[in-house]
Amino acid sequence: MYRRVLGGVILAAIFLSLVLAAVWGRGREGGVGLGGGKVGLIYLTGVIAGEGGASPLFGSTADVRGVIEALSRAEEDPSIKAVVLRIDSPGGSAAASQEISDAVRRVQKAGKKVVVSMGDTAASGAYWVAAGADRIVALPSTITGSIGVIFETANLSGLYHKLGIQKEIIKSGPFKDMGSESRPLTPEERAILQGMVDDIYQQFVDHVAQGRHLPRQKVLELADGRVFTGRQAKELGLVDELGDLHTAVREAAHLAGIKGKPEVVELSKAPWFRRFFGGPLNGLLLPRFQEGGLKS
C-alpha cells in the first residue's frame, strides 16, 4: 500500500513538472522586458543530425528542422529585429549544419542581425553554423573550433571470420558496397572517400574564412581538427566577445538599433531538462559524439 501511494506521488510530481514546464515556456513566448523591438531567441542543442538521425531519449539529438523553422519565423516576422542563436552542440552532420547555416543567411538577407551565444560546446558542425553569424559571443570556458571533417566505417571482417559468417553481396558496380563492414576498403575506395572528405573540408574552410573575415591561410592553420577554449578562440579571431547569453542579447539589441531593454521572444525551446536541472544533468544526457557517416 505504502509503495503504491509513494509511486503515485512521484508520478504526480513528474506530471506537474512537465505541465509547469509547458506553461512556463508558453509564458516566455510572449517576451520579457520593455523596449522598441524584439530579439528572437533560438536554441540549437545536441548532436546535429540529418532527417534520418536517431533521436534518443531526452533530446540528445538537435531538432534541426525545428531550428530552421524558428529561423524562418524570425526572417518573416517584422517585429523581430535580431536573433540570438544559443548553441550547445558538439557538431554532427555536415549537410545538416549547412542547412542551418543557410537558414541563418536568409535571416541576415532579410536585414536582421544574428548573434551566436556559445554554451558549453560549439564545435565542428556547430562552429560551421556559428561562423556565419554577425557576432559570436562565447564563454571563456566554451569548447569550440574542431574545424574539420571525418568519415568513419568499421571493418568487421576479422570478427565475421571468427564467427564463421560470410556475407554475400550482389552489386551493380564495383563501388556500390563501398564502406561495407564485411571487408576492408580497397585503395581506390579509400581515395574516393578521401576526396569527399577533402571537398567538404574545403567548403568548411571557405565558409569560416568568409564568415569570420579571416585570411584563408590563417583558417587553414587552425583547421586541423583541434579544439579551443572560448578565450583562446577570441585571441585567434574565431569569436568576437566573451560573455554569457545576456551579453549576446545586449549585443543583438545594439546591432539592431533597439533602444532600451529589448523584448526577448523564445522562438524555440531549450530542452525541458535543461530549464529545470541546468548544465550538470544535461552533460550526462547529451552524447558528445555521433557514430558513422560524414561529420563536421
Q: Point out the residues that are catalytic.
A: 124, 176
Which residue, chain included where needed, has cell 579551443? 228
Helix (H, G, I), strand (E, B) or coil at 151: strand
- State the Cα–Cα distance between residues 47 and 59, nearest whole angstrom: 9
Cell of 181: 563492414
**Rounded to 10 degrees, what is the CA torsion of 85, 87, 93, 96?**
-10
* Nearest residue to 265 via CA among 113, 82, 68: 82
* Nearest residue to 90 via CA among 132, 127, 51: 127
Cell of 111: 536585414
Helix (H, G, I), strand (E, B) or coil at 288: coil
